[in-house]
Structure 1
Amino acid sequence: MTGKILIVVLLVSALFAGVAMYYLQVYAYYETVTPTGTDDVQLTTLDGRRETILYEDFQAIDAESSPIRFRACFTTQTPLSTLTSTYEQYLGAVPRNAPGWFNCFDAETIGDDIRAGRAEVFTSERNREFGIDRVVAITQDGRGYIWHEINECGDKAYDGSPLGDDCPDREIGGN
């Protein structure tokens, strides 16, 4: 009888731990970002300046637990052709999954749009934190998405490789 009780206690504990871990990963650390309404969506121009573009319907989430948990969605009326001729494109960006409850950000669909040429990815801010770039993808129909991308220096720092001379000091970064 004691063995059965012990097994039930272990199973209930494991179930509780699993539910708690799921909740912590998907819900607990994320906070809704309050938009400023003036500089939430910025792109880097071809000559290296950051500019705010026209945007509406901005929604974002972030978490202090990781520098790559930021996700945002918005719309813009600015034609994609104008954006590509004015702002620095970002090569190799791959959108990261967002929690399922953040409905506007579907990483798989965004990735498909990028691969199919229906969306372009732009640099918002390089080394926002050391090794982390903010990127913005905008589709042909004006839907926009923002996330953080680990850059080459970040990859080197996190896997322990020596940093190259082209990497900035670790103190560089905005937030």
Structure 2
Amino acid sequence: MFSRRGFLIGTGGLLTMAFVGDARAFIRRKEAPLLAVPPRTAHTLYWDWPDGLDEPQLFLDGEPEVIAPEPPTWRVFLNSLDAKDYTAGEIKERLEQMSFDPSHLDQQMDGAWWELHYDRVSGPSAKAYRLLKGIDLGPDLDPSVDGPHLDFVEGGGNQFDYSLHVHPSDLLALSLLQARLIDLRLPIKVERWDS
């Protein structure tokens, strides 16, 4: 699945037509986005432009890792903040499907379930997708519409890829994203990943 969102550009706040002009000029001079600094920061949206991709990709509060790390034990997972994304009923149902025995609490989680959770919930790419999908950044756009935007992508190149990704169209889209987050008074900083 794929959706595209543009940006709300108005007369109030930071995200104005004048800002768009300034951002374009800055990008031409510096070959980097114009990223205004929010008054306070609680989260960081890192962007990285990996080799082979046409657009950068966003990651929330974590390094650009798209492959799930080794699964934790069930005990570690169930005690983590990640477990809060599921209802007790959903966790119970999954454990029953696996014929889970409480003696398995200190064994590594089911790899397929962990990978799906990482791709859709706890991975830095999925966190960026879920955060930005829930924020009023601007209007939904037809995929044929050009101009700065964010692409929200579900899945990858094969039928077994359930990962979630957000791709800004270009450096201007990164500048506009940061300005819109500031206009919404969200304590989120956009920053290039520096490995």
TM-score normalized with structure 1 length: 0.21
Structure number having the greater helix percentage: 2
Normalising by structure 2, we get a TM-score of 0.20
Identify which of structures 1 and 2 has the higher relative contact order when contacts are C-alpha pairs closer than 8 Å and 6+ apart: 2
Give the structure with the larger strand fraction. 1
Q: Which protein is bigger by CA-based radius of gyration?
A: 1
